[in-house]
């Protein structure tokens, strides 16, 4: 009798111990996948996450949900992704602020490289310096000729745009005043209303107004001209070498130490989605130039971008929280 009782107790002790092992060996994906987006719904990153998520769900046979975690320059959402279990069920759809934040702030709570498994860079997004139509300038070169002494103002929607425009402002000695905004919508409203003179906006936000003539595109921040704005040259084309930031990118990350086979499967599926004609059309509509880069190669690109950004921050004179 005592022997049978001992065997039962032993079995009861072993079963709970075996459960985590069986759980850890489940075939991925066996349950829903979450994509954390560290910004509010409705923006480019959110649209990308939802489109990729919908197609990923169809391909792997599991629900994919988007979890928006806006605020504080995307830091809380990024930290949440870094601290998630490294099992392939939590992804991060991020963009350039991922590597800008650690340069700009003293302690963001994450290491942009060590705390993540970079899966892929999707593409590059262009931004454009625009002026209100009544300002009477048609390019960045013309702005440099007329701006000094005029007390012009420019709107920015975050530290990234502020750094870039302050580099331009200081290097060209324009004497412009920065007016910070919490988003593109209020900045656009004030620009159209004449309360500010210029702003740095995404091409997706500014394109229709440039095409209608209510705003004037002066210079694009991108490696090349935006396909939807072929008449607007880049800063580099116009000779402003100090503005050597070539635009932002969007990328998928997973927490560090995700199993290699799971990461490889994710990269394979995301790449296939990115090659889909319908997804390419979505990215074209969002003015995202596809420049896919797999994780290992992308690590080097991120390190390079961090150093370029560090130099730009120092040049800009923008006061960064320490």
Predicted local confidence at residue 192, as pLDDT: 96
Predicted local confidence at residue 272, as pLDDT: 96
Share of the chain above pLDDT 90, in %: 67
Residues 190 and 104 both lie in one domain: no
Residues 144 and 213 both lie in one domain: yes
Residues 148 and 113 both lie in one domain: no
96 domain residue, yes or no: yes
114: confidence class by pLDDT, cuts 50, 70, 90: very high
- Domain stop point among 221, 239, 263: 221
130: confidence class by pLDDT, cuts 50, 70, 90: very high
236 domain residue, yes or no: no
321: confidence class by pLDDT, cuts 50, 70, 90: low
Q: Render pLDDT for 230-280 as a digit per residue (tens, 0 to 9).
A: 999 999 999 998 887 877 899 999 999 999 999 999 999 999 999 999 999
279 domain residue, yes or no: yes
Structurally, the chain folds into a number of domains equal to: 2
Q: What are phi and psi of 250, to 5 degrees?
A: -120, 145
Residues 308 and 168 both lie in one domain: no
26 domain residue, yes or no: no
137 domain residue, yes or no: yes
**Distance in angstroms (rounded) separating the CA atoms of residues 12 and 4:** 13
Residues 147 and 116 both lie in one domain: no
Domain housing 260: 33-124+247-316
- Domain stop point among 154, 187, 221: 221
pLDDT at 139 over 80: yes
Residues 57 and 115 both lie in one domain: yes
Residues 98 and 134 both lie in one domain: no
Stronger pLDDT, 148 or 15, i.e. the higher one: 148
Residues 140 and 213 both lie in one domain: yes
Q: What is the mean pLDDT of the chain?
A: 88
Predicted local confidence at residue 182, as pLDDT: 74
Predicted local confidence at residue 22, as pLDDT: 44
Where are the strands (E) in the chain, listed by range?
A: 33-37, 64-68, 90-95, 116-125, 127-132, 153-156, 177-180, 198-202, 215-221, 248-255, 288-294
Residues 147 and 96 both lie in one domain: no
317: confidence class by pLDDT, cuts 50, 70, 90: confident
4: confidence class by pLDDT, cuts 50, 70, 90: low
Which CATH number goes with the domain that contains 183?
A: 3.40.190.10
The CA-based angle 208-72-258, given to 5 degrees, is 95
22 domain residue, yes or no: no
114 domain residue, yes or no: yes
Stronger pLDDT, 319 or 21, i.e. the higher one: 319
Predicted local confidence at residue 18, as pLDDT: 47
pLDDT at 11 over 60: no
Q: Render pLDDT for 182-235 as a digit per residue (tens, 0 to 9).
A: 778 889 999 999 999 999 998 888 999 999 999 999 999 988 888 889 999 999
Residues 53 and 194 both lie in one domain: no
Share of the chain above pLDDT 70, in %: 91
Q: Render pLDDT for 15-50 as a digit per residue (tens, 0 to 9).
A: 444 444 444 457 899 999 999 999 888 778 899 999
Residues 131 and 271 both lie in one domain: no
320: confidence class by pLDDT, cuts 50, 70, 90: low
DSSP reduced 3-state for 249: strand
Range from 151-155, 172-176, 278-282, 286-290 carrying the lowest mean pLDDT: 286-290
129: confidence class by pLDDT, cuts 50, 70, 90: very high
Mean pLDDT computed over 91-113? 93
- ω into residue 29 within 30 of 0, thus cis? yes
Q: Would you say the pTM of this structure is higher than 0.95?
A: no
Which CATH number goes with the domain that contains 70?
A: 3.40.190.150
7 domain residue, yes or no: no
Alpha-helical runs (H) found in 63-213: 75-82, 97-104, 140-146, 159-171, 184-193, 203-212
Helix (H) or strand (E) holding 269: helix 260-275
The CA-based angle 263-269-271, given to 5 degrees, is 100
Residues 56 and 82 both lie in one domain: yes
pLDDT at 149 over 50: yes
**Distance in angstroms (rounded) separating the CA atoms of residues 229 and 210:** 8
């Amino acid at each position: 009798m005592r022997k049978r009782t001992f065997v039962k107790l032993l079995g009861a002790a072993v079963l709970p111990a075996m459960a985590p092992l069986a759980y850890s060996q489940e075939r991925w994906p066996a349950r829903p996948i979450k994509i954390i987006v560290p910004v509010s719904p409705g923006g480019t990153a959110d649209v990308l996450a939802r489109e990729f998520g919908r197609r990923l769900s169809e391909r792997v046979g599991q629900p994919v949900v988007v979890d928006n975690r806006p605020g504080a320059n995307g830091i809380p959402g990024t930290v949440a992704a870094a601290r998630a279990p490294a099992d392939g069920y939590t992804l991060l759809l991020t963009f350039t602020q991922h590597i800008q934040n650690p340069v700009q702030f003293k302690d963001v709570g994450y290491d942009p490289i060590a705390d993540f498994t970079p899966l892929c860079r999707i593409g590059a997004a262009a931004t454009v310096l625009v002026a209100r139509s009544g300002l009477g300038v048609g390019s960045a070169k013309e702005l440099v000729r007329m701006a000094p002494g005029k007390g012009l103002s420019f709107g920015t929607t975050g530290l990234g745009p502020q750094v870039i425009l302050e580099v331009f402002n200081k290097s060209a000695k324009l004497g412009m005043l920065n007016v910070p905004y919490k988003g593109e919508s209020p900045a656009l409203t004030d620009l159209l209303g004449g309360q500010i003179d210029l702003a740095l906006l995404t091409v997706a936000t500014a394109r229709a107004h440039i095409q209608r003539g209510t705003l004037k595109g002066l210079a694009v921040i991108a490696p090349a001209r935006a396909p939807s704005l072929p008449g607007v040259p880049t800063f580099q084309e116009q000779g402003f070498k100090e503005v050597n930031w070539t635009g932002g990118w969007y990328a998928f990350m997973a927490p560090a130490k995700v199993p290699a086979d799971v990461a490889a499967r994710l990269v394979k599926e995301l790449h296939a989605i990115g090659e889909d004609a319908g997804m390419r059309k979505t990215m074209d509509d969002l003015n995202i130039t596809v420049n896919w880069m797999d994780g290992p190669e992308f690590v080097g690109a991120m390190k390079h971008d961090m150093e370029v950004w560090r130099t730009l921050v120092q040049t800009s004179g923008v006061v960064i929280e320490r």
